[in-house]
Structure 1
């Protein structure tokens, strides 16, 4: 048994190392050649004696003396050397030919000694001379083939073999490790049950879906959920990216698909997971006028055939993930293939809290960390974003040599995720700093005094990201999946607040409101074209997204209105912007004192919280007899103001003291 195992290992070594095998073979051939050719004597056996014959090199003159003394009985003359056998056959004398000398021939004739000519080459040397160049070519080919095999994954030049492209594992991920996608987990739990107890379903005649398509935005946890299914079922998990099937050689992708399914069937029950399946599953109608008979189409056809190649009782489940389901080929989505589409959506408030709890398990957090507050600030973020926020907070705490992560670290991490990294080295001059302070204060005041607007979380004049010189972070009161008409107008007013504040308090506008005006225009345009929220088009939808096959199956907006409608729409958008801009100017004039106080605090601290903004506004409304428009936490703000009534804050900027 041990000998057989050693032989098997030796065979595997030579099979896996063809270059070493070729080198050994070449050395053996050269040694044989040297033995057969001899040490320059030749291989003609006409003069060779017995195995005891000794070869003795002599000078040309010595050979002539041997002939004269009749010490040789036969002589063979070649082109470059002469050999003669002694009379007793015990020796062979060899010497070089002296060109132009005919005395040796005369001596041989006089002494009546037989002499003949001979060829110094033989069939073996001639054959080797022909084969040697081919052996060199084969060696070079094997060298490059080995290099390509390593780079392309094995097989003939690496084509068709997907073993190195497929990640095979038995993950230990469980459903408890996947938070914030409770509905999606419920959808896939029966798949786990089928993989554990397939006989239960087969006996009753139930058909478990062959394929499940996980659909969701990037970072929502589609891959993690697929691993959790395999982890709960305790089955092999074969994962591969859709782009791994695409190769420059036609037919390679199809071969890799066959290889993938063969491996999964051998290890059944098992799970096949294809990430970014839109790389190979794009609609075949998107080939354009030139047709789609290419490598991607052949790979897709093979995938469809493989999914039809095993019955519903076969314990192999195919999971796939994409964030672009609209471009997939209809044949993939028909019943019998990817029967189900499971939405892995961005988490709601409770989901974000659970995700944060999962990611802080291995992080030392302080007792003051409020994950619910962080969840409120991160509305609309996916699980991957939340994981990054927790990691950023841990990095910040480590940089400060802290033993735990504090709430301020979490706040800073949220700001990094939403607004970008603080650019402390970016110096802005006092004039621009003043413009930014009034601009952001205008946004903050409109957000707090407009019904339906998102309330302020933080205002900063510290540059962040690529181009932001300041920013205002807003947080919604709750997760929202639709917006009412008054909320859209409130968003427009908030966006216009920055430009209006520059005009009221600086007396001149700047380029800082470019993005704000673009977003405000887009909101009103969508209200007219898509949402039916204007008198211009009424309930007509003027622009809608359609799947464009000529553009590769992507979404394209198509215009379906006349030039006259376009002119009316342009006039309506301009009129609406002008009217709301005027209303915003009036609001800022009304709250001029609150803006000045906000700007002074920003100059002093550079960052102020939403609570500080609301305190300033509520206090200003109280002092000036204005009906309060701050509805969020207004009662708690009043209580805080009463508690601080004995404190005096001196503002050096405007030269007055405000008693609170």
Structure 2
């Protein structure tokens, strides 16, 4: 408790401690083993020579015997102990053998006596006062439910600026304009420009929406209120709307300022889609936000910045001009953006000379800013575990594979037959990829279990793509089926290892037919209503807007595409069976191959020595749970 802010509590605790001290003192003083006796008994003891000392204080006489026992006798006010003893027959010679000491009356005796009598009442009053204060605090806490819980940052000492944000240049330009509005509003008002009311930042998770908002707070130099959308909604009716009102009142008192609402979809969902009627607490909160952003009071210099990764479920009234005037998209960074993000995250970290950030950026397509931060952190952790002073390229390569597929399962024990099946499975993928023109080159092959995969083939795209061609889809489907076909050709049987490959191929084929209009029979049409309802879930909300005949044609087209890809991959593996056998045998020996080793082997050359020693072969049997799981044996980044 802060006593400087609440002196009454300070005084209360002093009184309580004082009362406790008095209580202890009274207990100690009252605990002396004294017995009350009459004066005639004292006189008889003096005559018998048993009394050594008599101490007289106020109206009490304390008798101490020669054995050390203590007794107490009560005297009349202003009575003389010597005269009283003589009246009971004690001779002067007998009194001379006793030390009679008159102690001065204690100044605190009367006070302690009074306080001791009032001590129970004082303790009860203190306890009652404490309970009343607790009840009053609970009442204040209950009344503070409607207060905003936004955290305010002054912006005087920014911890994050635009220099700390990379890979989103267009978003930074949009938000720099908002910062300039707040710093120099006169420049825009003189031209008749209106300050924007709100900025909605949209993007997948991990693209840096919250980091960008923190950078705006650091650059603006104005008060910055930060709150999450879920903090508005409570179990009490009207609390969310009350917190919205209190938040905007605080913002108006500190204007110009910025309000940042993270995950606004928690309160900004489309109204009228609920199952509980229109009087929903979340909808009342959203209504209050709408009124505060564009109500009758339009002269306040308060900018609302909101972030969400679900813009499709937001209420249209929230997205109209006048409320959220601008929509800033933070998408996954491209190659140059990933390179700039890596520069930010490697600041202050000791890097080895062999680290090539350009190569790392090229090997991480689709990574967000959070993924790249995690990648650099994983590399630093690996270097520390290996007792190295710098982070080398080997740690970054290992970190990429850990992020993509998970850590290596070195403790997984498999038999030689299982290992041979995995080697031919991954070799089938790699050989088909090598001979198809639209597949990205193989970067690495491994039959070491990692995550849920028994093995994997990495073939990241050589460049960023915004569009996928039909020929690219067909080649990727054939490459995904290469592992299953290799098992059929070599062993005459198939395993559950291709379950994930089949799922990817089927999904790609159905997307080509129903979403991208790539079917020659059905033509450039899309099938299926993909609108999503808020409470019922995505799968339930999807409705078929086509007949049963069309559904049968869709199934036939999907089967035709998958069958065509299957035949292409089978033909390639039959023609290049020698390459398949050599590659699988090589994988059995080294377990992991790089791009240079793979391409040299495919050209019929002697592959260079592996960069890292291969792990020792394992000899045991795979567990039943692993066999039944049907984990993916190929992790080539095929498009969904």
In which range does the TM-score fall when normalised by the shorter chain?
A: 0.7 to 0.9
SS in 1 for 2:328: strand
Matches within 5 A, 1:460-539: 460-465=446-451, 467-539=452-524
Question: Quick one: distance in 2 between partners of 1:328 and 1:141?
Answer: 46
Q: How far is the alpha carbon of 1:394 from its aligned partner?
A: 0.8
- Partner of residue 611, structure 1: 596
Number of residues paired by the alignment?
516
Aligned CA distance change for structure 1 residues 554 and 337 (closer, same or farther; 3 Å) = farther
Q: Does 1:332 align with 2:325?
A: no
Q: Does 1:595 align with 2:580?
A: yes
SS in 2 for 1:439: helix
Select 1:237's aligned residue among 224, 228, 231: 224
Aligned CA distance change for structure 1 residues 134 and 571 (closer, same or farther; 3 Å) = farther
SS in 1 for 2:504: helix
Select 1:375's aligned residue among 339, 346, 361: 361
- Does the CA contact (< 8 Å) of 2:258 and 2:305 recur in 1? yes
- Partner of residue 393, structure 1: 379
Question: Quick one: distance in 2 between partners of 1:427 and 1:133?
Answer: 72
Question: Quick one: distance in 2 between partners of 1:29 and 1:334?
Answer: 67
- Partner of residue 282, structure 1: 269
Q: How far is the alpha carbon of 1:526 from its aligned partner?
A: 1.1
SS in 2 for 1:571: helix
- Partner of residue 190, structure 1: 177
Q: How far is the alpha carbon of 1:27 from its aligned partner?
A: 9.9
Q: Does 1:293 align with 2:279?
A: yes
- Does the CA contact (< 8 Å) of 2:12 and 2:126 recur in 1? no
Q: How far is the alpha carbon of 1:204 from its aligned partner?
A: 2.4
Matches within 5 A, 1:386-465: 386-465=372-451
SS in 2 for 1:342: strand
Select 1:210's aligned residue among 197, 213, 233: 197
Aligned CA distance change for structure 1 residues 319 and 589 (closer, same or farther; 3 Å) = same
- Does the CA contact (< 8 Å) of 1:283 and 1:553 recur in 2? no
Between 1 and 2, higher relative CO (CA 8 Å, sep ≥ 6) is seen in: 2
Select 1:273's aligned residue among 248, 260, 263: 260
Q: How far is the alpha carbon of 1:387 from its aligned partner?
A: 0.6
Question: Quick one: distance in 1 between partners of 2:125 and 2:419?
Answer: 77
Q: How far is the alpha carbon of 1:239 from its aligned partner?
A: 1.0
Unpaired segments of 5 or more residues in structure 2? 22-35, 39-119, 609-616, 618-640
Q: Does 1:13 align with 2:29?
A: no
- Does the CA contact (< 8 Å) of 2:259 and 2:303 recur in 1? yes
Question: Quick one: distance in 2 between partners of 1:133 and 1:279?
Answer: 49
Question: Quick one: distance in 2 between partners of 1:462 and 1:499?
Answer: 18
**Cα deviation per residue 1:454-483 (whole Å; 9 max; x = unaligned)?**
221111111111x21111112112101110
Give the structure with the larger strand fraction: 1
**What's the RMSD between the two structures over aligned residues?**
3.4
Q: Does 1:564 align with 2:566?
A: no
Aligned CA distance change for structure 1 residues 554 and 442 (closer, same or farther; 3 Å) = closer
- Partner of residue 250, structure 2: 263
Q: How far is the alpha carbon of 1:157 from its aligned partner?
A: 5.7
- Partner of residue 175, structure 1: 162
Matches within 5 A, 1:112-127: none
- Does the CA contact (< 8 Å) of 1:207 and 1:312 recur in 2? no
Question: Quick one: distance in 1 between partners of 2:577 and 2:480?
Answer: 18
Aligned CA distance change for structure 1 residues 27 and 360 (closer, same or farther; 3 Å) = closer
- Does the CA contact (< 8 Å) of 2:223 and 2:256 recur in 1? yes
Q: Does 1:345 align with 2:331?
A: yes
Q: How far is the alpha carbon of 1:506 from its aligned partner?
A: 2.1
Q: How far is the alpha carbon of 1:607 from its aligned partner?
A: 1.2
- Does the CA contact (< 8 Å) of 1:529 and 1:537 recur in 2? no
Aligned CA distance change for structure 1 residues 24 and 159 (closer, same or farther; 3 Å) = farther
Question: Quick one: distance in 1 between partners of 2:490 and 2:537?
Answer: 50
SS in 2 for 1:588: helix
Q: How far is the alpha carbon of 1:215 from its aligned partner?
A: 0.2
- Does the CA contact (< 8 Å) of 1:166 and 1:260 recur in 2? no
Q: How far is the alpha carbon of 1:145 from its aligned partner?
A: 7.2
Deviates most, 586-595 or 352-361: 586-595
- Partner of residue 54, structure 2: none
Aligned CA distance change for structure 1 residues 591 and 553 (closer, same or farther; 3 Å) = closer
Question: Quick one: distance in 2 between partners of 1:227 and 1:402?
Answer: 34
Unpaired segments of 5 or more residues in structure 1? 1-8, 32-56, 60-127, 621-639, 645-652, 654-660
Question: Quick one: distance in 1 between partners of 2:304 and 2:540?
Answer: 27
Aligned CA distance change for structure 1 residues 139 and 10 (closer, same or farther; 3 Å) = closer
- Does the CA contact (< 8 Å) of 1:253 and 1:298 recur in 2? yes
Question: Quick one: distance in 1 between partners of 2:540 and 2:331?
Answer: 20
- Does the CA contact (< 8 Å) of 1:286 and 1:553 recur in 2? no
